[in-house]
């Protein structure tokens, strides 16, 4: 690929870090899909305006000169979640980076604004996890299972005047489907705007008052160390908190 700047990104996607190996990161806004929905479904827009190969996990298109181009998706975050997302300009670095995720060699930091607060100020959530597929989508549910979901959590700020709203720092150790959303709900701090696992009544009140419809979950930082072509590489990408988060912080402090 000649330049990652030539990739047909959707509006709301910004390149925030890149490495000469071909690994790079973008900051995506909430509401964009990491990749198109399968089976040609038209629900929502994805980060790149191009075809997506689900088997080999890459986007493909033709540039202005008619040359075929590809970009590989390294990891995914929910469409409702904003923040750091990793991609690769070649298949070799994509394979190495994906393996780092599988081996839990990638450090991820999220921030969430939640109703209420966890029972402890900081610690480790370790919960049995089960993924269930229904007719319309895939949801991950906590249940009796040998598969575990693990997340380090820390309360950054609490404001009791706003129904006990809390601002949390979350570091997922495992990467289960909807892990952070489900664990927050289970541990007494559902994420604001979560229409699947959250507090529907409080969401309705909050949305009516603030006019903020989004899920307040943001991937703020991704760090990873890996070897590629006999070189040791340290890669880091950070995405600042969206303005919507800052607006809620201001509301909390009124």
Model pLDDT for residues 102-147, shown as the tens digit of each residue? 999 999 999 999 999 999 999 999 999 887 766 555 667 777 788 8
Domain that includes residue 167, residue range? 4-252
Helices (H), 54-123: 91-102
- Cα(37)–Cα(60) distance, rounded to whole angstroms? 15
Q: How many domains does the chain have?
A: 1
- Cα(254)–Cα(251) distance, rounded to whole angstroms? 5
- The rounded Cα 86 to chain-centroid distance in angstroms is 10
pLDDT, one tens digit for every residue, the chain (254 residues): 447 778 999 999 999 999 999 999 999 999 999 998 876 555 679 999 999 999 999 999 998 888 999 999 999 999 999 999 999 999 999 999 999 999 999 999 999 999 999 999 999 999 998 877 665 556 677 777 888 999 999 999 876 555 578 999 999 999 998 999 999 999 999 999 999 999 999 999 999 998 999 999 999 999 999 999 889 999 999 999 999 998 886 555 44
Phi then psi dihedrals of residue 2, to 5 deg: -70, -40
CA distances from 179 to 63, 103, 165, 170, 229 (A): 37, 17, 20, 11, 33
- CATH number of the domain to which 31 belongs: 3.30.2350.10
SS3 state at 107: strand
Phi then psi dihedrals of residue 29, to 5 deg: -80, 160
Model pTM score: 0.91
Angle at 143 between CA 139 and CA 148, to 5 degrees: 90
Number of H helices, E strands in the chain: 4, 14
User: What pLDDT does residue 254 have?
Assistant: 42
């Amino acid at each position: 690929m000649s330049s990652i700047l030539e990739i047909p990104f959707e509006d709301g996607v910004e390149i925030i870090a890149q490495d000469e190996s071909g690994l790079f990161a973008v900051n995506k806004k909430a509401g964009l899909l990491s990749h198109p929905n399968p089976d040609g479904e038209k629900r929502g827009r994805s980060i790149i305006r191009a075809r997506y190969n689900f088997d080999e996990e890459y986007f493909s298109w033709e540039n202005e000169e008619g040359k075929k181009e590809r970009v590989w998706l390294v990891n995914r975050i929910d469409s409702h979640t904003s923040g750091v997302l990793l991609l690769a300009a070649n298949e070799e670095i994509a394979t190495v980076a994906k393996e780092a995720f599988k081996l839990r060699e990638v450090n991820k930091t999220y921030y969430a604004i939640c109703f209420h607060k966890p029972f402890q100020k900081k610690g480790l959530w370790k919960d049995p996890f089960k993924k269930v597929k229904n007719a319309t989508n895939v949801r991950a549910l906590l249940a009796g299972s040998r598969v575990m979901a693990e997340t380090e959590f820390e309360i950054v700020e609490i404001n009791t005047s706003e129904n006990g709203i809390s601002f949390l720092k979350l570091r997922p150790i495992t990467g289960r489907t909807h892990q952070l959303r489900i664990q927050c709900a289970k541990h007494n701090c559902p994420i604001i705007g979560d229409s699947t696992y959250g507090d529907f009544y409080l969401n309705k009140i909050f949305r009516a008052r603030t006019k903020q419809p989004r899920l307040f979950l943001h991937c703020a930082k991704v760090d990873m160390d890996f070897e590629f072509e006999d070189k040791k590489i340290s890669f880091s990408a950070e995405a600042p908190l969206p303005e919507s988060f800052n607006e809620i912080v201001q509301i909390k402090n009124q």
